[in-house]
Homo-oligomer: A and B are copies of this chain.
Amino acid sequence: MKKHLITTEWNEDDFNRMFLPGIAIDAVIFGFHDQRLMVLLLQYKNTNAFALPGGFIMKHENGNDAAQRILKDRTGLSNIYLEQFYTFADISRHDTSFFKKIMKARGMKPTKNHFLLNRFISIGYYALVDFTKAVPTTDLLADECKWHDLKELPPLIQDHQQIIQKALSTLRQDLDIKLVGFNLLPETFTIGDLQNLYETILDTKFLRTSFQRKILNLGILKMVDKKMTGAAHKAPYLYKFSTK
C-alpha cells in the first residue's frame, strides 16, 4: 500500500527517497461563506501555530500534480481551480523552530541535516473551491484543518502571512481578467451572491444596478430558474456559469 500522506512513522530516509529536497508547495485555499472570504489552515498538535496546507513534490511527479494532490488530500476535491502565483525563496524563510517542535512532539529525531530542517523554497499556489463541497481533512501531523476568516487570521508560522497576502493580491488581479470568481460559488447563484463575493474579495462596494449590467453584459452567465427563498421580496433569478 502506498503511503500518500506524511505519517509519523516516516523516518529521514523515507523523505529523502520520495521527495525533491529543499522544495515545498504551499497552498492558499480560498472559500466563500457567509459574506466572508475564508482560508483553510492547519493547526499542529501541541502548538499554537497555524500553517498553510502544504507538501512536497515526489521525485517522479510534476509540480502542478503535486499541488493537485495536496489539495485533494485537504479538501477531498479533484479538478480544483488552481493557480501558481509566486515562489518564495528568501533565506529569512529558513526558520526551523517550528518543525523542530513538531518533530519532537511526534517522536521524530531532529537530526542535523534532516530533510525537514534544511532551507526550503516554497512554490505558492492559490485554489478556489466551493465552500459547500470541500471537506477539510486533517493530516496526521496536524490537529485540525479548518476554515478561517481572512480578516481574523490566527498567528501563522514562518512567512505564511505574507504568502496569503500575495495570494490575495494575485486573486484580486485575476478576478476581472480571468473571471475566476465563479469557482468560489455553488453551481447556481444569484447576481447578488456574486456581487457579495466581488465586494468581499476586492473590499469595495459596487452599485447594485451597474454591477448587474456589467456582469450580464459579459455574456458568460446563463439564467437557470427562479429562486423561491421565502424571503419577503421578489425572488431573484439563479444563474449558472456558461463556458461557451
Contacts and interface: CB of A to CB of B under 8 A. Distances in A.
Interface stretch (A83-91, A132-140, A197-205): A83-91
B63 A121 contact: yes
| Main SS class of interface, A | mixed
Contact of A23 (B88, B92, B121, B173): B121
Interface stretch (A44-52, A54-62, A98-106): A54-62
A221 interface: no
Contact of A119 (B20, B22, B66, B90): B20
Contacts of A84: 86-87
Q: How large is the interface on A (under 10, 10 to 19, 20 to 34, 35 or more residues)?
A: 20 to 34
Interface in A60-79: 60-64, 66
B90 A63 contact: yes
A164 interface: no
B91 A60 contact: yes
A61 B121 CA distance: 12
A123 interface: yes
Interface in A5-42: 20-23
A20 B121 contact: yes
A87 B90 contact: no
Given A21-B22, A84-B86, 15 more contacts: A20-B119, A21-B21, A22-B22, A23-B121, A57-B121, A59-B119, A60-B91, A61-B91, A62-B89, A62-B91, A63-B90, A64-B89, A64-B90, A87-B87, A173-B177
